[in-house]
A and B are shown apart, each in its own frame.
Chain A
Amino acid sequence: MSANGGGFHAARWNEALINELSEEGARGIVPPAVDAEIAAAVGDVAAALPEGARREAPPDLPEVTQHRVLRHFLRLSQMCMGFDVTTDMMGTCTMKYSPKAHEHMARGAKLADLHPLQDVGSLQGLLELMYRFNRIMCEISGMDEFTFQPASGAQGIYTNACLIRAYHESRGDLGKRDEIITTAASHPADAATPSVAGFKVITLMPGEMGFAGVDALKAAISERTAGLMLTNPEDTGQYNPNIRQFVDLVHEAGGLCAYDQANGNPLLGVVRAGDTGFDMCQFNLHKTFSAPHGSLGMGCAAVGVKDFLRKFLPRPIVAEDGSGGYRLDYDPGQGIDRIRAFIGNVHAVLKAYSWVMSLGAEGLRAVAETAVLNNNYMLAKMRTVRGVTIPWPANNYPKLEQVRYSFEQMFAETGVTSHDVIDRMVDFGVQHCMPSHVPMLVTEPFTMEPGESLTVAEMDQMLAAIEAISDEAYSDAAKAQGGPYNAATTRIDGDVPEDPDCWAFTYRGYLRKKAMWTSENRRKIERHEGGY
């Protein structure tokens, strides 16, 4: 059966590449013509371009009539499982409903057609909204000031790393303090971005409870410690109850603490980064605060700091102008360099603000609690699915917003892997789940985060799909390994994207290299099994 009652099959349009739809002379749209008087006054400016700068032949773009372009991309959209059309419980992603009203407001001319460098007097509505949301985020997090400049979670975490660097640099300590501590089950960006910012990164491995212990932290701390950067709950859905002690130990050693709130959905109105002792934090407005994920962005990170770090935030900052309006404070002061052009993905800020205003304080707490409730319901049911185990059995705490499951037992008993399950899920009309970020702490991992938006019936449909795949694994393993069958395309040759002789990232690359796909001289590819 399918998650939607049976017989699901994805749209499979076998839609050609746009380049292949080209018909000579076809036009999709016509740009505005130049006034004859302008043309007469200036002549053919293109012909007068310096020879080395002039394009000799038009770019080889497709020529496609308008409705065919529309059809092409609508067909592609139909072969894509956004949250608007189906259940998505992809772990670490906090998939939730993105209210349409917010989208409609963001698309109006009063936001979509604003230039970021307009006189601040002409941006007062936007600046007020950003200022108000700044205050809201301070209340939610216990921080004192926010910036919305970073365009994604990773960029927000990177901003935290830059703030830690700026703080130690301002004290003349940067050469002495060059180590950041994180945990293995925090998002990879918590290890990667401090490395990019020039730090050495120490990764704490989980103990038998599934999170790092205080002793492991103590062993990692030294006079070289610049800071702590982690998620809590980690990507396993487990909250580290020693977090306050972690923060205190790092502070005692002279380091700063950055709270990556990528997994902050279960903590809204329940736990505040500031109260936990953190000096800074970042939230994903596109995950936790309902701004749509946009097929992998447009995201927005809200980065918050305690008062003593305010001077290091990247400019500009929205501030009151002293006469009832708002201004953009560009004074660089000790602010870190720009993270992103202009003032951030303000359309995501509008949607996040609207979401909080729709819910209020009680609603935010309801979001957090319901995300935890839904997750523990899924956990209770998943425990009964044959072949599924829950890692770190010593940890008997309820999980918070997500669970990292394991199909280790199913693999041992049937040969069906978590990747097989993930591929097969699509046949049931639901978005697949993610296995795990690297490092693979769990064998045959499978990470699920239901969020607060889904109904019980939708959760049960997801469970029915998992149960059906489990039953199949134990009765017809080959079938369970061969999916998907009813997806938008058939199983691909997964070696091609890994093989330098075969991979192709553009149409022109594809035309040049596709003959290699069927060549007998293909190299042997070591398959990469990471999960994202």
Chain B
Amino acid sequence: MTDENGFIHPYVPNAAPAPRRRLLGEIGVEKVSDLYVSVPEELQVKGLLNLPDALPAEHDLRRHVDEMLSRNLSCRDHLNFCGAGCWQHYVPAICDEITGRGEFLTAYGGGTYSDHGKNQAIFEFQSLIGELVGMEVVGTPAYDIGAAVNSAVTMACRITERRGVLLSGGVSASLRSQVRGFTKMVADVDLIGIDPATGLIDLDDLKAKLTGDIGAVYFENPAFLGLIDGRGAEIAALVHAAGALLVVGVDPLSLGVLAAPGDYGADIVCGEIQPLGIHMYGGGGCAGFIASRDEERFVAEFPMILMSIAPGAEEGDIGFAWSTMQRTSYDKRHDSEDYAGTTQWLWGIGAAVYLSLMGPRGMEELGRGILQRARYAAGRIDGLEGAGVPHLDGAFFKEFTVDFSASGKSVGDINAALLARGIFGGKDLSADFPLLGQSALYCVTEMHGKSDIDRLVDTLAEVLS
């Protein structure tokens, strides 16, 4: 490209010769390189980068990318039983319709007046999550539940002025890694043991570890391995008696049937919103949230943007604004203990649409149905030779562990055999939870009818035999 012949492309209109000449003339320079005089010559690339040949025709580009993508097998053409932090749920058409709207999709940092609608949608996201978890303060979306937990446990440490964090030993290896990295310099993290009989956190171990140094205790309900703990209030009482704060992680999709953590004593609630009307996008659908009571000492420690409602100038008008930004790293810069920035707001809007569609009845029916399907699937799998569901007598939501150790086969081999028959099996837990042997985490959602579950069971029977 030269200044004379320019470059013609639909995405760069002023690279064409005529506007390029015109703009150079208006600026009063002869050539574009005159505009780069602040950049030392020796740092500038000579010639062009060595990149693949361009595909400027949209058709050619789509053909190229679609050809690559066609080599993926998707959960729409395969039967999927893998969850483990990213779950296949039905995404209502209206969720896709709204998250695909250009006005939202291509908005960014607009404010009270320019992006009023975005702000209202995010305020509604906060509102609807608040109803599910039983809290009055909900922040704008976090990156994912792991980032939310990072922020929540360090918030709790700052509020209590303590360094100790106790994490349930049942959280995922991924989340454990996220927390370990984030808290490395500011907190001491220990794990609460899991009672092998129940799969739930061991309260004796919790009591023993709840010293005066502990600022935050984190457990998930339902747990990563699907189990539901009915002792939330008891755990909260223990934690509060020790002067610590209780952080509870939830799958918000479960809260049509499960108690709101705010109602059993949680101080901060975290969660993953991907199940609420967001496609999995290979994990890109993940986004999180943090919620707390409306107390100044909590709000002051929220790291992210908080969207507040406010009255407009005329009677009945409402507007929205980013509240108390002096809390955030935008203002605190080198004094920051956490950071704010672009996160996953579009998925927050999608979740608001989802919860608006579902309503109280939808969430309740969905939750009840998932409980039933998961129990049916677990019961049938438990009946297979070589497979067992360790906590079949406990309560679980959506996911449950299947132990294949008795079969003499590895989860890896079983999953490969399932895949050959068109099924994605559960997440292999053997590396992350070695004590569980050859176990896998199976996920059953409202996407699965009886015939799907029966097909899984029949196929497993074939694979295990």
Contact = CB atoms under 8 A, between A and B. Distances in A.
A35 B372 CA distance: 10
Given A121-B419, A153-B341, A359-B11, A506 B143 contact: no
A380 B26 contact: yes
Given A69-B356, A78-B117, A151-B144, A497 B110 contact: no
A51 B230 contact: yes
B358 interface: yes
Interface in B89-124: 90, 92, 94, 96-98, 100-118, 120-124
Interface stretch (A84-92, A214-222, A250-258, A405-413): A84-92
B117 A77 contact: yes
Contact of A53 (B103, B228, B357): B228
A188 B147 CA distance: 19
A362 B128 CA distance: 48
Nearest to A26: B359
Contact of A105 (B69, B90, B145, B184): B69
Interface in B287-301: 287, 294, 296, 299
B240 interface: no
A344 B344 CA distance: 12
B85 to A, nearest CB: 6
B259 A61 contact: no
A126 B72 contact: yes
B340 A19 contact: no
Contacts of A490: 312-314, 317, 319
B62 interface: yes
Interface string A61-98: 11110100110111111111111110010100101111
Contacts of B106: 82-85, 98, 292-293
B113 A112 contact: no
B24 A373 contact: yes
Interface stretch (B155-163, B201-209, B331-339, B457-465): B331-339
Contacts of A504: 136, 308-309
A245 B249 CA distance: 48
A297 interface: yes
B143 to A, nearest CB: 5
B120 A15 contact: yes
Interface stretch (A303-311, A364-372, A469-477): A364-372
A298 B379 CA distance: 39
A337 B180 contact: yes
Contacts of B56: 358-360, 363
B258 A29 contact: no
Given A50-B230, A81-B103, A337 B181 contact: yes
B91 to A, nearest CB: 8
A114 to B, nearest CB: 4
Contact of B341 (A62, A189, A270, A355): A189
B94 A55 contact: no
A438 B331 contact: yes
Q: Which of B32, B40, B51, B175 has the most CB of A within 10 A?
A: B51
Interface in A419-438: 422-423, 425-426, 431-432, 434, 437-438
B405 interface: no
A129 interface: yes
B54 A357 contact: yes
Contacts of B228: 49-50, 53
B246 interface: no
Nearest to A483: B113
Contacts of A170: none
Given A59-B360, A360-B53, A530 B331 contact: yes
A481 B82 CA distance: 56
A123 B282 contact: yes
A478 B334 CA distance: 38
A425 to B, nearest CB: 8
A331 to B, nearest CB: 11
Contacts of B42: 244
A67 B7 CA distance: 46
A241 B127 contact: no
Contacts of A394: none
Contacts of A365: 1, 7, 48-49
A177 interface: no
Contacts of A165: 184
B395 A53 contact: yes
B371 interface: yes
Interface string A32-49: 111101110110111011
A172 interface: no
A95 B108 contact: yes
Contact of B258 (A55, A494, A510, A530): A55
Contacts of A422: 111
A139 B346 CA distance: 31
A63 B332 contact: no
A267 B329 CA distance: 27
Interface stretch (A1-9, A385-393, A452-460): A452-460
A83 to B, nearest CB: 4
Contacts of A31: 90, 358, 362, 365-366, 369, 446
B75 A341 contact: no
B256 A55 contact: yes
B238 interface: no
B146 to A, nearest CB: 6
A512 B70 contact: no
A85 B114 CA distance: 12
Given A80-B117, A99-B11, A195 B365 contact: no
A98 to B, nearest CB: 6
A496 interface: yes
Contacts of A207: none
A272 interface: yes
Contacts of A296: 107-109, 140, 305, 342-343, 345-346
Contacts of A358: 9, 11, 54-56, 58, 61
B330 A72 contact: no
Contact of B368 (A45, A119, A492): A45
B127 A397 contact: no
A457 B366 CA distance: 52
Given A125-B69, A198-B184, A357 B326 contact: no
Nearest to B353: A73
Nearest to B33: A369
B241 interface: no
23 contacts: A32-B447, A33-B369, A45-B368, A50-B228, A50-B229, A60-B131, A83-B106, A122-B419, A124-B71, A128-B71, A189-B329, A296-B107, A296-B342, A298-B344, A345-B284, A353-B65, A398-B37, A490-B313, A491-B313, A492-B320, A492-B321, A496-B311, A504-B309
Given A152-B143, A438-B333, 11 more contacts: A18-B127, A29-B94, A38-B450, A115-B282, A299-B341, A337-B180, A340-B143, A341-B85, A373-B32, A491-B319, A528-B326
